[in-house]
Structure 1
Amino acid sequence: MSQRMILNETSYFGAGAIDNLVKEVKGRNLGKALVVTDKELVKYQVVAKVTQLLDNHGLPYAVFDETVANPTIEVVQKGIQAYKAEAANYIIAIGGGSPIDTAKAIGIIINNPEYADVRSLEGAVATAKRSVPIIAIPTTAGTAAEVTINYVITDAENKRKFVCVDPHDIPVVAIVDPVMMSSMPKSLTAATGMDALTHAIEGYITKAAWELTDMLHLKAIEIISRSLRGAVNNEPIGREGMALGQYIAGMGFSNVGLGLVHGMAHPLGAFYDTPHGVANAILLPTVMAYNAGYTGEKYRDIAKAMGVTGTEAMSLQEARNAAVAAVRQLSLDVGIPAHLREVGVKEVDIPALAISAFEDVCTDGNPRDTSIAEIDKLYRAIY
Structure 2
Amino acid sequence: METFKLKTAVSFGKDALAALEELAGGRVMVVTDDFLAKSGLLDKVKARLPGCTVETFTGVVPDPPLEVVARGARALADFKPQAVVAFGGGSALDCAKAMVEYGKKLGATGEISFWAVPTTAGTGSEVTSFAVLTDSQKGVKYPLVDDALLPHRAVLDPVFLAGVPAKVTADTGMDVLTHAAEAYVAAGANVYTDALAEKAFALAWKNLPAAFNGDQEDKGRMLLASNLAGMAFNAAGLGLSHSMAHALGGRFHIPHGRLNAMLLPHVIRFNAARRETAERYAALAKACGLTPTARGLAFAIERLRGRLEQPGRLSECGVDAKTVRDQGDEIAAAALADLCAPSNPRSVTPQDIKAILRELA
> TM range, normalised to the smaller chain?
over 0.9
Structure 2 CA distance, aligned partners of 1:231 and 1:342?
A: 24
Given the superposition, is the C-alpha separation of residues 7 and 343 from structure 1 closer, same or farther in structure 2, using an over 3 Å criterion?
A: farther
CA drift of 1:43 comes to: 2.6
Q: TM-score, normalised by structure 2?
A: 0.94
1:108 to 96, 101, 113: 101
Distance 1:300 1:373 in 2: 26
CA distance 1:19–1:285, change in 2 (3 Å): same
Quote the residue 1:322 is aligned against: 296
| Larger displacement relative to structure 2 (79-88 or 93-102) | 79-88
Contact 1:140–1:181 (Cα < 8 Å) also in 2:
yes
For residues 53 and 21 of structure 1, the distance between their equivalents in structure 2, rounded to whole angstroms, comes to 6
Distance of 2:111 and 2:334 partners within structure 1: 29
Name the residue aligned to 1:121. none
Listed as ranges, the matches of 1:279-298 within 5 Å are 279-294=259-274, 295-298=277-280
Give 3-state SS (helix, strand or coil) of 2:30's partner.
strand
**Which secondary structure state, in structure 2, belongs to the residue aligned with residue 283 of structure 1?**
helix
User: 1:266 is matched with which residue?
Assistant: 246
> Is 2:158–2:220's contact at 8 Å kept on the other side of the alignment?
yes
Please state how far the C-alpha of 1:89 moved relative to its aligned partner.
2.5
Structure 1 377/131 Cα, relative in aligned 2: closer, same or farther at 3 Å? farther
Contact 2:161 2:220 (8 Å CA) reproduced: no
Deviation at 1:53, TM superposition (A): 2.8
1:299 equivalenced with 2:297 (yes/no): no
**In the alignment, what sits opposite 2:150?**
170
Q: Distance in 2 between matches of 1:91 and 1:183?
A: 24
Q: C-alpha displacement at 1:92, in angstroms?
A: 0.6
TM-score by length of 1: 0.88
| Match 1:33 to one of 5, 28, 42 | 28
Task: Note if contact 1:205-1:298 (Cα within 8 Å) is conserved in structure 2.
Answer: yes
Identical pairs, percent: 36
5 Å-filtered alignment, 1:133-148, equals 133-148=113-128
The answer for the alignment partner of 2:159 in structure 1 is 179
Counterpart CA distance in 2 for 1:48 and 1:305 is: 41
| Amino acid across the alignment from 2:250 | A
Instruction: For 1:90, give the aligned amino acid.
Output: A
1:198 equivalent to 2:178? Answer: yes
Aligned to 1:51: 46
Q: What does residue 351 of structure 1 align with?
A: 329
Q: Is the 8 A contact 2:77 2:106 kept in 1?
A: no
Deviation of 1:307 after TM superposition, in Å, equals: 2.8
- CA deviation digits over 1:126-177, x for unaligned, max 9? xxx9973211000000100000011111111222111111111111111011
Aligned pair in 2 of structure 1 residues 367, 185: CA closer, same or farther (>3 Å)? same
Q: Deviations over 1:94-128 (max 9, x none)?
A: 011101001100111222449x9xxxxxxxxxxxx
CA distance in 1, matches of 2:161, 2:286: 28
Contact 1:134 1:172 in 2 (8 A): yes
Which residues of structure 2 form unaligned runs of 5+? none
Q: Supply the distance in 2 between the matched residues of 1:175 and 1:161 (Cα, whole angstroms).
A: 27
d(CA) in 1 for partners of 2:100 and 2:87? 14
Contact 1:221–1:305 (8 Å) recurs in 2: no
Per the alignment, residue 6 of structure 1 pairs with 6
Distance 1:206 1:130 in 2: 37
- Give, as a single letter, the amino acid of the residue that structure 2 aligns with 1:156: S
Provide Cα deviations, 1:303-340, integer angstroms capped at 9, x if missing partner: 1233326x4xxxxxxx1211111111111111111101
Q: Residues 130 and 168 of structure 1 are in contact (CA less than 8 Å); yes or no, is this contact kept in structure 2?
A: no
Instruction: Provide, for residues 181-239 of structure 1, a one-character-per-residue CA deviation record: whole Å limited to 9, x for no partner.
Output: 11111111110010011000000001111111011101111000001111112212211
How many residue pairs get aligned? The number is 355
- Residue in structure 1 matched with residue 15 of structure 2 by the alignment: 16
Please give the alpha-carbon distance, in whole angstroms, between the structure 1 residues aligned to 2:286 and 2:44.
39
Report what 2:75 is aligned to: 82
Taking the aligned partners of 1:61 and 1:220, their CA distance within structure 2 comes to 35
- For the pair 1:221 / 2:163, whether they are aligned, the reply is no
Which ranges of structure 1 fall in alignment gaps of 5 or more residues?
A: 117-128, 312-318
Residue deviations 1:20-68 (CA, integer Å, cap 9, x gap): 211x213xx6x211111111212322222212333xx222211111111
Structure 1 residues 130 and 201, CA gap change in structure 2 (3 angstroms): farther
Secondary structure at 2:115 match in 1:
strand
SS in 1 for 2:61: coil
Alignment RMSD, CA only? 1.9
What is the Cα deviation at residue 263 of structure 1?
A: 0.5
